[in-house]
Structure 1
């Protein structure tokens, strides 16, 4: 059996979702797992989950004769990759980073640099409800303790619509907040 199939069957058989498989030249086999998403619930992978999957994968890979030097099972982390429609649905309203396969070109004239391929903004459904868009502002980040003038004109918001097949990579933006998670803002 192929490595992808062995890992997929083992991980889903234990009740988890396979997020990513990474195999390095040095023999490291890195498996990233997550809980299946159910709207309205949010569970996080812990060390015991990774240990359980690691033990089961060791047996499955040994039976099928897959060679590796080290096996590493982990959670997706704060910069989780977004790979499919379900991931985008799950993280709508969150801050994400996207990289396009090709630059925007002349269609973006006036809005952004036509050679730009990387964007950071809030993930939203587009006006049709079938596609996706990223919304951002080019306002400079505020420094801690900086006061904002009441006369200051806010920077305009930009929106870029995209289809999933136009993306090279999409990830949650790694935002660290030591005061704890905040619930998503309802629209």
Structure 2
């Protein structure tokens, strides 16, 4: 089964279960690292005061593992990992950019712009296909989304 089909099936399997448990699917991926395959599922809570506990991860892991064993859609051996996206989460979807507007982010580009590939600033949002941040000089920087390798929340202490 193709990687995209596996993640789509995972999303289908989890949809109702996550909603019943006041959780949401943040991201999923089926990837090969070295000789091993991993099905990684990142769960989250949208509420400001909400957080994902290890109990939540365990509950989702047990549920998904059972469903995957029953349907057995993945032919090769793999490891199932369920976790929260973490404090330094990668932003994937439009709603992630809207939710975390005003937060400090790190933006990595595929190719250098002005001699740099990495930028930091306050996220303004995803606007007209551009990831927009305000840097430490209060300049607004715009990066076409297709040129951005990764936008990640910065951990600020």
TM-score bracket relative to the smaller structure: 0.7 to 0.9
Are 2:24 and 1:21 equivalent residues in the alignment? no
**1:33·1:76 contact (CA, 8 Å) conserved in 2?**
yes
Q: Per-residue displacement from partner, 1:122-171 (whole Å, max 9, x unpaired)? A: 11159xx655421122xxxxxxxxxxxxxxxxxx4332123433311111
**2:26·2:85 contact (CA, 8 Å) conserved in 1?**
no
1:61 is matched with which residue: 68, 73, 82? 68
CA distance in 2, matches of 1:64, 1:119: 43
State the Cα distance separating 1:76 from its structure 2 match: 0.4
CA distance in 1, matches of 2:40, 2:131: 30
**1:11·1:18 contact (CA, 8 Å) conserved in 2?**
no
More helix by share: 2
Aligned to 1:34: 44
Equivalent residue pairs, number? 144
TM-aligned CA distance change 1:68 to 1:165, over 3 Å? same
CA distance in 2, matches of 1:125, 1:58: 36
Superposed, 1:138-149 pairs within 5 Å as none
Aligned to 1:169: 150
> What is the RMSD of the two structures over their aligned residues, measured on CA atoms?
2.4
2:57 is matched with which residue: 50, 53, 56? 50
Q: What is the TM-score of this pair, normalised by structure 2?
A: 0.77
TM-aligned CA distance change 1:27 to 1:84, over 3 Å? closer
Question: Which range moved further: 81-90 or 1-10?
Answer: 1-10
**1:8·1:18 contact (CA, 8 Å) conserved in 2?**
no
**2:91·2:152 contact (CA, 8 Å) conserved in 1?**
yes
State the Cα distance separating 1:42 from its structure 2 match: 4.2
CA distance in 2, matches of 1:13, 1:132: 32
5+ unaligned residues in a row in structure 2: which ranges? Answer: none
More strand by share: 2
Aligned to 2:90: 81
